[in-house]
A = this chain, B = another copy of it.
Amino acid sequence: MPNFANDPSRKSWLDIKKDSDFPIQNIPFGVFITKEDVITIGTRIGDYAIDMGALQQLGYFEGIELTDDMFMQDTLNDFISDGKKTWRLVRNRLSDIFLDSNPTLRDNDSHKNIVIFKIEDVEMLLPVQIGDYTDFYSSKEHATNVGMMFRDPENALLPNWLHIPVGYHGRSSTIVPSGIPVHRPYGQTLPNGETQPVFGPSKLVDFELETAFITTDANLMGEPVSVEDAEECIFGMVLFNDWSARDIQKWEYVPLGPFLAKNFASSISPWIVTLDALEDFKCESPEQNPKPLPYLQQTGKHAYDINLQVAIQPENAVETVVSNSNFKYMYWTMSQQLAHHTINGCRVNSGDMMGSGTISGPTPDSFGSMLELSWGGKNPIKMNDGSERKFINDNDTVIIRGYCQNNDVRIGFGEVSSKLLPALDLKF
């Protein structure tokens, strides 16, 4: 089936700013609530949120096999379960509805009043009910940086790293959409040089620059997904800030991995950009040497050229861009991650989310966490307002942005922006 919604020559009758992340070639999917408390599935074109539930009720999806209430739901899980063919049919249809030459909705003011909202008049919700969330660790630069700081500079990468897309399970219950503030967490830490841990708010709260992908029902329990089939099981991607408390992490993480240092919050951008929309931005991955085991081998382009940026905005001050990176630096691809995740028969369901792991590029200004940018706090970052940062301060807002750009079109994710609030007063 043709993926004609990507055609760069298509223009919408909606007014779209030239540098918008959401031209008619994007058509991401999300869930929002209106001022009238209606929750619906929708898409975004320019600075407009489009109510797909209303479009469906008005008959705009006629001819596509969908359950009657497919878009009148508070999560995308059922739609994602329908599979790639349906995603593409719906995305192509949305492209047609808003195409400049199509008068059907364009010239129907009463329909337009029901369907189209200004983006500032809706509130974005979590787009999926996340059954299980996994976080990978697939940036060689990040794994090397962390290994140099915490273990042995001479043997920064552990022996398994070049053979396995290393990953671990995270917690779904604290994944929140952009805009939801996060409290500085309490926890146990071991002060330098001490032998007894202390309790209190974390002193080293950090962001992690990541993306995450969202899957459909990929397999039955027991049945692996091959690396060739894996991309068909990926619905789309979001930006992902995997909030981390470095001092809690350091004390708790042996031998079973990070736990409370990570599960106090992770923040995502609310619009899921489909792999279909990203198709024209596929690129080569870094060479994998040694060659992975056969179940992880793939040919062709499976990386994606996505520009990524992190900014920190102190309260009432200008923001400072602290990192410019790119998703294409990742050593392991999403399809390799998913093939590895299921090689033991682990079941993957619609709405499951898998984080890339911190995305660090090759140069110091492309590192994906304050831990690396300030090199463990040794080299504070100078901010545009004259202050310095080793980690994240109370009331700082961390903003991650991402977009693809070629000569014809820009496909963006918008942003995930979340503020770190001071630690709560404990009631006990």
Contact = CB atoms under 8 A, between A and B. Distances in A.
Given A186-B344, A197-B160, A168 B171 contact: no
Given A221-B174, A254-B160, A260-B344, A199 B169 contact: no
Contacts of A294: 199
Interface stretch (A112-120, A222-230, A276-284): A222-230
Contacts of A174: 221, 345-347
Interface residues of A, number: 71
A369 to B, nearest CB: 15
Contacts of A341: 260
Interface in A135-161: 137, 151, 158-160
Copies in the complex: 2
Nearest to A253: B255
Contacts of A270: none
Nearest to A347: B173
A87 to B, nearest CB: 22
A166 B199 contact: no
A34 interface: no
Contact of A257 (B190, B255, B426, B428): B255
B160 A251 contact: yes
Contacts of A259: 166-169
A245 B348 CA distance: 19
Interface in A370-417: none
A176 interface: yes
A210 to B, nearest CB: 14
Interface in A154-212: 158-160, 163-164, 166-174, 176, 182-183, 185-188, 190, 195-199
Nearest to A202: B344
Contact of A345 (B172, B183, B190, B255): B183
A158 B259 CA distance: 16
A183 B343 CA distance: 12
Contacts of A295: 199, 428
A252 B190 CA distance: 27
Contacts of A348: 173
Interface in A318-363: 340-341, 343-349, 352
A137 B137 CA distance: 23
A64 interface: no
B252 A164 contact: yes
A216 B217 CA distance: 27
A172 B170 CA distance: 11
A186 B225 CA distance: 12
Contact of A131 (B173, B176, B428): B173
A1 interface: no
Nearest to A294: B199
B188 A256 contact: no
A27 to B, nearest CB: 29
5 pairs of A and B residues whose beta carbons are closest in the complex: A257-B257, A185-B344, A169-B169, A168-B256, A256-B257
8 contacts: A164-B197, A164-B251, A167-B256, A169-B263, A183-B222, A245-B344, A257-B257, A260-B340
Interface of A: 131-132, 134, 137, 151, 158-160, 163-164, 166-174, 176, 182-183, 185-188, 190, 195-199, 221-224, 226, 228, 245, 248, 251-260, 263-265, 290, 293-295, 340-341, 343-349, 352, 424, 426-428
Given A160-B254, A169-B263, A221-B265, 9 more contacts: A132-B172, A132-B173, A173-B346, A173-B348, A173-B352, A182-B222, A224-B426, A260-B344, A264-B344
